[in-house]
Amino acid sequence: MDENTLWTAVQARDDNKDGHFYYAVTSTGVFCRPSCPSRRPHRDRVRFFSDSKAAQAAGFRPCLRCRPLEKPLEAVADFIHAHLDDRLTLQSLAGVAGLSPSHFQKRFTKEFGMSPAEYIRAHRAERLKSGLRDGSSVTDSMLDAGYGSTSRLYEHGAAALGMTPREYRAAGRGLRIRYSTFETSLGWTLAAATGRGLCRVAFGDGAEALERELQDEFANAFLVREDLPEYVPAIRSLADGERRASRLPLDVRGTAFQMRVWRELQSIPAGETRSYREVAAAIGNPAATRAVARACATNAVAVVVPCHRVVRTGGELGGYRWGVGRKEKLLASEHR
């Protein structure tokens, strides 16, 4: 880019250009990212550099406001993706970012909506799913996703899959699954059922994307589009916050712990909430707050198993697999 273009990016505080170049101010002796929030200098006092080392070699020191020597958090996320099979600690990731562990934890959580540990677990689970769907063995998929042992695989991996890795690898082989996509007050919705009951209820931004997700999860099942009149009206009522909606039959698979959590969630009355800690105590395992949160995050049947009724201690909404906005709307509807 020519200097006029670079200067335009600096004036606009364009964070998309962070990492692509740096600018230095001769009157202060500091260099900054393009997005630096400090007051803009006069153009004739600005020099441009392609990287931070060149700016330092020219005698400029890093700005204390935009901290140009820190790596953008997207770079840390890329590092995580490339090193999932390594032992990733908060200390090591903070070192990659050039931040203190506590500051890194706060910034990462704010940027990505989950802690670094949660981000790592989510992407290990996605890599595990991808390997199993592609036909790799359970052992190869486990190692490629960074689970160092079978005990860790079945503790964390099974929790993320909602079933054992071997069951997931079968991808619904031999199952006949009927499904329907329709609109509710929460947007596009997919319901899918086996002969035993609902195996999936999900929200999304479009019918096609929801169908692709279903096909990915149950690649070996026989999928049939139907109207599902025995399920769709009840799901619409639940999405509207209707307290009197009947309980629906389910065909969901999970670890013994997950099943205990999901049963407990179904006992929470509409219009009420529980904290993760309260749910953990209710199932007789008060120390398992984080495991309860993981079980909520892997619930495959939205609103039918009402994981949206679980919030953080203090009443903060926390996360939701189908978007915090939907969680907030559901709780408000049920409360009314």
- Point out the residues that are catalytic: 32, 307
CB 135 within 8 A of CB 173: no
CA separation for the pair 311, 114 (Å, rounded): 15
Please give the order of strands across the beta sheet that includes 222-225: 198-204, 187-193, 176-184, 222-225
Q: Determine how β-strand 46-49 pairs with β-strand 22-25.
A: antiparallel
CB neighbour class for 98 (10 Å; exposed up to 12, middle 13-18, buried from 19): middle
C-alpha 129: how far from chain center: 15
Residues whose CB is less than 8 angstroms from the CB of residue 13 and which lie 6 or more positions away in sequence, other chains included: 34, 35, 36, 37
Instruction: Supply angle C-alpha 271, 275, 281, rounded to 5.
Output: 120
